[in-house]
Chain A
Amino acid sequence: GAVVSQHPSRVICKSGTSVKIECRSLDFQATTMFWYRQFPKQSLMLMATSNEGSKATYEQGVEKDKFLINHASLTLSTLTVTSAHPEDSSFYICSAREGGALTGELFFGEGSRLTVL
């Protein structure tokens, strides 16, 4: 199957700093990627849909100025958590469909565990 890679897998930062997480589709092009957030022992909550070459679409309740998404190429989307605070600590996972398909299997990255001190 298609491969989606995330980096870094773990990051610890001080409160007030910004953190960037990368999501890459390694062997396919993805015009659309999705960013999810997962709290311990909870489900995946969709944060935003990242669209190549255009603005991301954010889910209700997600602050777009807090979680900056850039999808500059067909294989890379980035999520920047700005001015991070302890409550932003979470597991962030990106996903994409192969070939920009509108339906079908969604492939997930390994996830990035953010800890804000």
Chain B
Amino acid sequence: GENVEQHPSTLSVQEGDSAVIKCTYSDSASNYFPWYKQELGKRPQLIIDIRSNVGEKKDQRIAVTLNKTAKHFSLHITETQPEDSAVYFCAASHKAAGNKLTFGGGTRVLVKP
């Protein structure tokens, strides 16, 4: 089955700096890659996603890049703010696996004021 690795596990940045989280996946059939943000004790919320027919997607301060050949994708957060502090999860899925999401291990991001 699919295996998603996520790095780093923790990330501390100064407010205003950029944060980058990287994920790799094992199943070349995976074609949908969402990123979720989870605040302490709350449900995961989708922040951005990308499909395999696109190499990059941007939404304001958040961007995701996908390299299908290398089987890795990354989340970029620019001009970080304290409210960006949370745990971020990447995930991957594909139709043949019932579109079940396999999550990475998560990255705990702390934005210091």
Interface residues of A (CB under 8 A from B): 34, 41-46, 49, 57, 93, 97, 102-103, 105-106, 108-111
Q: Given A44-B89, A46-B100, A49-B100, A105 and B46 touching (CB < 8 A)?
A: yes
Q: Given A44-B89, A49-B98, A110-B42, A105 and B103 touching (CB < 8 A)?
A: no
Q: Given A42-B106, A105-B34, A105-B49, A93 and B43 touching (CB < 8 A)?
A: yes
Interface residues of B (CB under 8 A from A): 32, 34, 41-46, 49, 89, 93, 95, 98-106, 108
Roughly how many angstroms separate A45 CA and B100 CA in the complex, as a whole number? 11
Contacts of A109 in B (CB 8 A): 43
Chain B nearest CB: distance from A108 CB in Å? Answer: 4
In this complex, the member of A44, A93, A111 whose beta carbon has the largest number of chain B beta carbons within 10 angstroms is A44
Q: Given A43-B103, A46-B100, A103 and B32 touching (CB < 8 A)?
A: yes
Contacts of A102 in B (CB 8 A): 95, 99
Roughly how many angstroms separate A110 CA and B105 CA in the complex, as a whole number? 20
Interface contact A106-B101, CB-CB below 8 Å: yes
Interface contact B101-A46, CB-CB below 8 Å: yes
Picked from A34, A45, A97, A108, the residue with its CB within 8 Å of the CB of B43 is A108
Contacts of A45 in B (CB 8 A): 103
User: Can you list 28 residue pairs at the A/B interface with Cβ under 8 Å?
Assistant: A34-B100, A34-B101, A41-B108, A42-B105, A43-B89, A43-B103, A43-B104, A43-B105, A43-B106, A44-B44, A44-B103, A46-B100, A46-B102, A49-B100, A57-B98, A93-B43, A102-B95, A102-B99, A103-B32, A103-B95, A103-B99, A105-B46, A106-B34, A106-B101, A108-B43, A108-B45, A110-B42, A111-B42
